A and B are shown apart, each in its own frame.
Chain A
Amino acid sequence: MTDIRYLAPGTLDEAVGAYAAAAGAARILAGGTDLLVQMRAGVVRPGLIVDIKKIAEMTTIEETPEGGFRIGAAVSGARLAEHPRFGKVWPGVLEGINLIGSKQVQGRASPGGNLCNASPAGDSVPAMIAAGAVVTIQGPNGRRQMPVEAVPAGPGRTNLAPGEILVSFTLPPQPAGTGDAYLRMIPRTEMDIAVVGCGACITLEDGVVTQARIGLGAVAPTPLLVGPAAAALIGSRLEEAALAAAAAACSAACRPIDDKRGTIAYRTKVAGVLLRRCVAIAADRAGRA
């Protein structure tokens, strides 16, 4: 590892310029909890590290005038947890982000890094998908937006074009009666990688589900938006038949791997189980919202 350069530009334009100019040899540094581990293991050998934490837009959390949130891609889990309002409005998204690693890891790990590292098991992603988060991306050809679920392309790969940097997540304003939740299945209580992760966001009107979004993690090469599970819930009062149909839709969406953490059969079954538990928490929160 000779000749690594480090840059910490103060503006996004400078960051994009340097990142794009270095072509494939550069890596973005947010919290470094994936990147520095990979560099140390020799898996990644960047010629240039572009630290994005000096760019104000990437490190701030703001409520939009319409009542949504804009989270800079490099904001740490600890900072998001300290925000006075975010966890009250989006407890599920915060749960997902705060499940990443230990308190030490939380001091640095960002939702942008979690998404761009593109692990199928990234804990913040299913909850972000359920929340309907949209990401803003900036590259040599300007800015564009895409839904969170469109970013991962496969394990370790994203759909960002060369030179593009993920700038922020925008979470939409919530209709009254909305609640969200994230649950993951791990064999221990802390510090492990999800065997299955499930995010749910539910809107209730007089006990009837009017909107639903379900995200699943660790059951396919990328985290999934499970439309059929949401469709099974919408219009229902979360009766057993609707929950069973939604759980079956989650299991049907799974295309998992067999590994030491869980077999294909286990992950497929647990996806349905987590859906039920997660919807119950989201609905409870929606009922109180």
Chain B
Amino acid sequence: MAKIHVTTTVNGEPVEFLCEPQQSMLDVLRGPLGLTGSKEGCGSGDCGACSITLDGRLICSCLMLAVEAEGHEIGTIEGMASGDGLHPLQQKFLEMAALQCGICTPGVLIAARALLEKNPDPTETEVRFGLAGNLCRCTGYDKIVRAVLETAAEMRGAKAEMPEAVR
């Protein structure tokens, strides 16, 4: 069967790949593109381990066909740290040990970043609802929720300290 040629953008870089029509975005990320940060927990939209952004919106890459990436922008966990600096969420997850086995962590981080972009000052309830699509078998969620709240507070503080012009 003829493979389909797809031209897209992944973490800001132009990318081309060949895929089968029914192949998921997650398969292509982890396989041909070698971006194995996104994990497959369930393949059915329930666990969130495969979370990515599509044109800036949070989605499950297991429930997206790779061919659908044509002309769109994909964001994965590999694009979360900038240069050699970790994203504040990544840094805080390390400091507060908000992970154990780490399988859920890339998805949680992507979802948490999407949450804070929309709502820089979430309540604990809002964080729990915002991350309801991410299952974690290890942490019991509490450390994750606290790390997200703590990061949000820090990021708001950092923003408040910035000069008006760059906020």
* A40 close to B43 (CB less than 8 A): yes
In whole angstroms, how far apart are the Cα atoms of A108 and B20 in the complex? 21
Chain A residues lying within 8 Å of B70, measured Cβ to Cβ, are 8
Query: Does B67 have its Cβ within 8 Å of any Cβ on chain A?
Result: yes
16 A-B residue pairings within 8 Å (CB atoms): A1-B22, A2-B1, A4-B22, A6-B65, A40-B43, A40-B44, A41-B44, A49-B22, A76-B57, A103-B111, A103-B133, A104-B51, A104-B59, A104-B133, A107-B57, A108-B54
Query: Does B106 have its Cβ within 8 Å of any Cβ on chain A?
Result: no
* A5 close to B21 (CB less than 8 A): yes
Residue total for B at the interface (Cβ-Cβ under 8 A): 32
Mark out the residues of chain A between 61 and 101 whose CB falls within 8 Å of any chain B CB in the assembled complex: 76, 78-79, 101
In whole angstroms, how far apart are the Cα atoms of A2 and B163 in the complex? 59
* A190 close to B58 (CB less than 8 A): no
Shortest A4–chain B CB gap in Å is 5
* A78 close to B63 (CB less than 8 A): no
Residue total for A at the interface (Cβ-Cβ under 8 A): 33
**A103 interface neighbour in B43, B64, B114, Cβ under 8 Å:** B114
Chain A residues lying within 8 Å of B115, measured Cβ to Cβ, are 103
Contact flags B26-53 to A (C-beta < 8 A → 1, else 0): 0000000000000000011110100100
In whole angstroms, how far apart are the Cα atoms of A256 and B48 in the complex? 32
Contact flags A1-41 to B (C-beta < 8 A → 1, else 0): 11111101000000000000000000001011100110111
Known: A36-B24, A78-B57, A103-B130. 8 other contacts (CB 8 A): A6-B22, A33-B63, A36-B64, A40-B43, A103-B114, A104-B48, A106-B58, A191-B133
Query: Does A51 have its Cβ within 8 Å of any Cβ on chain B?
Result: yes
Chain B residues lying within 8 Å of A29, measured Cβ to Cβ, are 65
In whole angstroms, how far apart are the Cα atoms of A103 and B54 in the complex? 13
* B57 close to A33 (CB less than 8 A): no
Mark out the residues of chain A between 110 and 159 whose CB falls within 8 Å of any chain B CB in the assembled complex: none
**B58 interface neighbour in A32, A107, A189, Cβ under 8 Å:** A107
**B45 interface neighbour in A2, A39, A78, A101, Cβ under 8 Å:** A101
Query: Does A102 have its Cβ within 8 Å of any Cβ on chain B?
Result: yes
* B45 close to A104 (CB less than 8 A): yes
Chain A residues lying within 8 Å of B1, measured Cβ to Cβ, are 2-3
* A36 close to B63 (CB less than 8 A): yes
* B132 close to A191 (CB less than 8 A): yes
**B59 interface neighbour in A2, A108, A190, Cβ under 8 Å:** A108
Query: Does B60 have its Cβ within 8 Å of any Cβ on chain A?
Result: yes
* A6 close to B4 (CB less than 8 A): yes
Shortest A175–chain B CB gap in Å is 33
Shortest A97–chain B CB gap in Å is 15
Query: Does B68 have its Cβ within 8 Å of any Cβ on chain A?
Result: yes
Chain A residues lying within 8 Å of B46, measured Cβ to Cβ, are 191
Contact A190 to B45, CB < 8 A, known contacts A2-B1, A4-B22, A104-B60: no
- Sort A-B residue pairs by CB-CB distance and give the 3 closest, nearest first: A102-B133, A107-B59, A6-B21
